[in-house]
Amino acid sequence: MKKIEILCDEIVQWLKEKVTNAGCKGVTVGLSGGIDSAVVAALAKKAFPNDTLGVIMPSHSNPEDEEHARLLADSLNIETKKINLSETFDTLLKELDDKGDNQLAVSNIKPRLRMTTLYYFAQKNKYLVAGTGNKSEFTIGYFTKFGDSGVDILPIVDLVKEEVRDLAKYLEVPEIIITKPPSAGLWENQTDEDEMGITYKELDHYIKTGEAKDSIKNKIENMKKASEHKRRLPKMFIANR
């Protein structure tokens, strides 16, 4: 990877260019308390010191996540809004008359509610929504379609998790956020690596080198193939005229 300071400057300039070209003036980003959102928020703050909005959106979430989100916002002096989505989530679940037979279908409601919230603030302030997906997760489809992938721009999507950590250290993200186990916060005690069934170290190494044990390689390739639809626009019927 190129020198970290050069990479940082390039992403900041890219953010400025994309936002300006869209006729907008800033960025809104969801603050989850995790490393990816912390890095994107820090980059956005560099690009738009007075036009970066961090939105904290708990939904029956671990209180520690909000603590870390506020720690990050305070360290960067980022304007924040807190929208508690717990009651909204409960109301929708009640209307759906859910029987609890599909945990993922229920859990994915949360990132989709957060996407709706972020777009409200983005449109209100003439901002773009910055996504927090990295290359590791994007490669295998570890994100919610039209949830955390429902964004305008993806500043760190070309960086594997290891590179995101390096950038976090350079941007002086609080250490507790850098070292905590990555989690999407979809349910209690959920972690990324447990859900993926592989470690970020194994995933990053395969993405960068193409090398892995057969079991790991097959798992990654199968996940990549199964999630291909999540990385593309919807299939479109084109009539013959």
The proportion of the chain whose per-residue pLDDT surpasses 90, expressed as a percent, equals 87
Mean per-residue pLDDT over the chain, rounded: 94
d(CA 204, CA 186): 23
Res 20: pLDDT: 98
The interaxial angle of helices 200-209 and 161-170, nearest 10 deg, is: 100
Better-scored residue on pLDDT, 183 or 231: 231
Residue 87 has pLDDT above 70, yes or no: yes
41-62 average pLDDT score: 97
Residues 182, 39: contact at Cβ < 8 Å? no
CB within 8 A of 145, min separation 6: which ones? Answer: 229, 230
Q: Could you give the domains of the chain? A: 4-231 (3.40.50.620)
Q: In this predicted model, what pLDDT tens digit does every residue of 172-225 receive, in sequence order?
A: 999 999 998 877 666 666 688 888 889 999 999 999 999 999 999 999 999 999
> Mean pLDDT lowest for which of 65-79, 81-95, 126-140, 175-189?
175-189
Q: Determine the pLDDT at residue 146.
A: 96
Question: What pLDDT score was predicted for residue 169?
Answer: 97
- The confidence band for 101, taking pLDDT boundaries of 50, 70 and 90, is confident
DSSP states of 201-213: HHHHHHHHHS---
Residue 98 clears pLDDT 80, i.e. is over it: yes
Point out which residues pair with 129 in neighbouring strands: 28
| pLDDT interval class at 90 (50, 70, 90) | very high
Nearest to 132 by CA among 203, 38, 199: 38
- pLDDT at res. 167: 97
Cβ contact 62:188 at 8 Å: yes
Q: Which pLDDT score, from 0 to 100, does residue 145 have?
A: 96
pLDDT of residue 195: 82
Residues 67-81 have a mean pLDDT of 97
The pLDDT, as a whole number, for residue 239 is 96
What pLDDT is attached to residue 73?
97
